[in-house]
Structure 1
Amino acid sequence: MQPFSYDALPMRVRFGEKALEQLPGELEELGVSRTVVLTTPREQAFGEQVDELLGPVGLGVYPHAAMHVPVSTADAACAYIAEVGADSVVCLGGGSTVGLGKAVALRTGLPIIAVPTTYAGSEMTPVWGLTEDGIKRTGRDRRVLPTSVIYDPTLSTGLPVEVSVTSGFNAIAHAVEGLYAPDASPIISLMAAEGVAHMLTALPAIVADPADLQARSDALYAAWLCGAVLGATTMGLHHKLCHILGGTFDLPHADTHSVVLPYVMAFNLSAAPAADDALVRATGTDSPATLVRELEQSLGIVGSLAELGMPESGIDEVIRQALAAPYSNPRQVTEADLRTLVTAAFTGSPIG
């Protein structure tokens, strides 16, 4: 076996049905006593229920989390949290809410506790992102890593099927890219393959029966593993493209990852045989990229960036930004390669 290093991230996880009920005790164990609950506008009512669960510890709900974490939203959230005198933040929801919590932690140093209701997996990473003037900046900082994560499968049973599916493929993208990252390891490969296999099994079951708690539990477990893979490795071409697409054109985060994923897989796996072997085992097929694309189509995922609202004129801008900043990738990326890949994702061309 080749030498490797693996740096485990410090984090506490509670997993199980009705685990949300343990949130007050978790906050007490962390030594915090004044908490703001962050949500999106859509989940405000649920946030108010959680705030009520916290009793005197809860200082209210800030329901303004948005995709790609606009700088103005982060500014306003920090101002509100300072005004009420919070010493901690609970992030209730998906990637948008966790992303806002990370922005707060980056600026204030306050601990954040994540309660995921989707399968994005961002709660397991020290990666933050902020968007301003159409440009999304990202970075890594352990200050933004949630101190605790509470995984409660019952919280995702009401998640719309289409959101469940796209956030699940978003999680798969984390695992795939971790498999061929320069800092991958046998431990990462185990988590990635396990996460991909469980998610690919769970998503069709969720589509067939959105109330299937076992399928929801499997998807949440897979999201945990896939997110942990991303948290421990270096991002490459896939995440670079999706950050550009999201920040520049305000495309929906998980949907964008879902559309781009099979095209980047098809491009990169030929140059990453170990990653390809792991995905062949996890998917049970010799063409993992094709299987992912076909499964996405069968589960109703939008098939192209054009359908998500990206203008065709934006292809040149995506290429310009992708070439302007270096990033790790197992295969050299040329301007011609990018044009072929992004154009295929824009039109929804067949894989291969």
Structure 2
Amino acid sequence: MATSGSYTTTPLTRIVWGPGSLSQLPELLDALPHVSGSTSSDGPRRALILTGNSLANKTDVIRRAEQALGPRHAATFTGIGEHAPVEGIKEAVRLMEQHGATALVAIGGGSPIDAAKAVSFYIHRESAHADNDDERSFVPIIAVPTTLSAAETTQNAGFKENNKKTGVSHRSLVPRVLLLDGDVTRHTPERLWLSTGMRAVDHSIELLYRPDVSPLLRGTWLMAMRELFTLLPLSKAQPDNVDVRQRLQLAAIASLWPESRKGALGLSHGLGHALGATYKIGHGITSCLTLGPAIQLTAALPSTGAEQLLALADARAFIPAPFATPVPIGATPSSLLQGKPDLDAARKQGKEVGEAVQKLV
């Protein structure tokens, strides 16, 4: 068991939540830091809204965001498709320059949020600040998620190029502000809403057995998993319950609490990246396909570290009925300090976590 370690936070500075919080966009924009050494601080920021066609054409969400921004609204780009094709990212970079936008407001699921990160990355790379890693030298992002994928918490920007998943990563790409408006999510199709909720479940469990993350956050992930198991069925039964949606948004953020990390979380995520880009399957759906079996395989593998295996086994006690029979918290990583832990029992409990995930799916 690691008796030393570290936790590195990200440039995320503020999380705002609550129905109707979309109206706070102007003040959140004003609070963003300006690019270090630039002249952008001479006037108020103006933002480019990045989103997809469905949200723009089938709902009033984007119109409401534009109205909230008022004169701070530089332009809106609605051409971000699933898995964020690179062509849309390049067009958004061009629009940023054309309209003099100095911030990005990404509204939607993982694709527009990842696209915003990629836009910020490419603008920085071509700017006079390319050698400056100061987070203030990157175009800042306000993320307004409408799904539960939690892409807004990471520094990774995945997108599709030549029909393959690729991406960029830099800690300064993490959105500075997260705006979680449960009312906005009412427009998200049920299949997308619930499947991205499974993506959040994927985060909360795969982080437990990833060997290079901070154990400081394990409690956060376990509590997020319990909330997700409880609230996802409730949201399916009561799709118009905004309070449930709001709590699910908070649980999704907790499932992937911000820390500087690169790459896929684990086997389920790695398979999801390959399947999603190749066969045009949303990442929420890929988690429905891969998570349960990936957990069961990880529990069985001799190469899974003892601390990670015990953390996975501990998750068993946080799964509510009817997905698992309630049990007291059992073997935990602290048992490593009390002598040889029962790893066979831990593997059995880990397998039961995979079975419970299958029931939830």
- TM-score, scaled relative to structure 2: 0.77
Identity %: 27
1:254 aligns with 2:284: yes
1:294 aligns with 2:359: yes
CA offset digits 1:247-280 (Å, max 9, x no partner): 2222222111221111111111333422322321
Number of the residue aligned with 1:335 = none
Which of 305, 313, 337 is the matching residue for 1:277? 313
What does 1:69-108 correspond to in 2, within 5 Å? 69-108=84-123
1:206 aligns with 2:235: yes
Is the Cα contact below 8 Å between 1:20 and 1:152 reproduced in 2? yes
Number of the residue aligned with 2:29 = 27
Which of 269, 283, 287 is the matching residue for 1:239? 269
Is the Cα contact below 8 Å between 1:7 and 1:232 reproduced in 2? no
Q: CA RMSD in A?
A: 1.8
Q: What is the number of equivalent residue pairs in this alignment? A: 296
Is the Cα contact below 8 Å between 1:242 and 1:256 reproduced in 2? yes
1:115 aligns with 2:150: no
Larger radius of gyration: 2
Number of the residue aligned with 1:49 = 64
Is the Cα contact below 8 Å between 2:208 and 2:218 reproduced in 1? yes
1:21 counterpart letter in structure 2? S
Is the Cα contact below 8 Å between 1:183 and 1:233 reproduced in 2? no
Q: Distance in 1 between matches of 2:171 and 2:260?
A: 10
**C-alpha distance 139-237 of structure 1, shift in aligned 2 (>3 A):** farther
- Measured after TM superposition, the shift of residue 189 of structure 1 is 0.8
Q: Distance in 2 between matches of 1:14 and 1:163?
A: 23
1:295 counterpart letter in structure 2? L
- TM-score, scaled relative to structure 1: 0.79
Q: Give the ranges of 4+ consecutive aligned residues of structure 1 lying more than 6 Å apart after TM superposition.
A: none
**C-alpha distance 219-16 of structure 1, shift in aligned 2 (>3 A):** same
Q: Distance in 1 between matches of 2:298 and 2:162?
A: 31
**C-alpha distance 35-131 of structure 1, shift in aligned 2 (>3 A):** same
- Measured after TM superposition, the shift of residue 139 of structure 1 is 4.0
1:40 aligns with 2:55: no
Is the Cα contact below 8 Å between 1:69 and 1:96 reproduced in 2? yes
SS in 2 for 1:13: strand
Is the Cα contact below 8 Å between 1:68 and 1:129 reproduced in 2? yes
Is the Cα contact below 8 Å between 1:182 and 1:233 reproduced in 2? no
Q: Distance in 1 between matches of 2:111 and 2:202?
A: 17
**C-alpha distance 187-147 of structure 1, shift in aligned 2 (>3 A):** same
- Which sections of structure 1, spanning at least 5 residues, go unmatched? 297-352
CA offset digits 1:294-317 (Å, max 9, x no partner): 121xxxxxxxxxxxxxxxxxxxxx
1:5 aligns with 2:20: no
1:282 counterpart letter in structure 2? F
Is the Cα contact below 8 Å between 1:123 and 1:227 reproduced in 2? no
- Measured after TM superposition, the shift of residue 138 of structure 1 is 3.3
Please state which structure has a larger fraction of its residues in helix: 1
- Which sections of structure 2, spanning at least 5 residues, go unmatched? 34-43, 124-137, 325-348
Q: Distance in 2 between matches of 1:274 and 1:82?
A: 51
- Measured after TM superposition, the shift of residue 232 of structure 1 is 4.8
Which of 70, 73, 84 is the matching residue for 1:58? 73
What does 1:306-317 correspond to in 2, within 5 Å? none
Is the Cα contact below 8 Å between 2:11 and 2:172 reproduced in 1? no
1:255 counterpart letter in structure 2? I
Is the Cα contact below 8 Å between 1:177 and 1:230 reproduced in 2? no
1:154 counterpart letter in structure 2? D
- Measured after TM superposition, the shift of residue 158 of structure 1 is 3.0
**C-alpha distance 29-229 of structure 1, shift in aligned 2 (>3 A):** closer
1:289 counterpart letter in structure 2? G
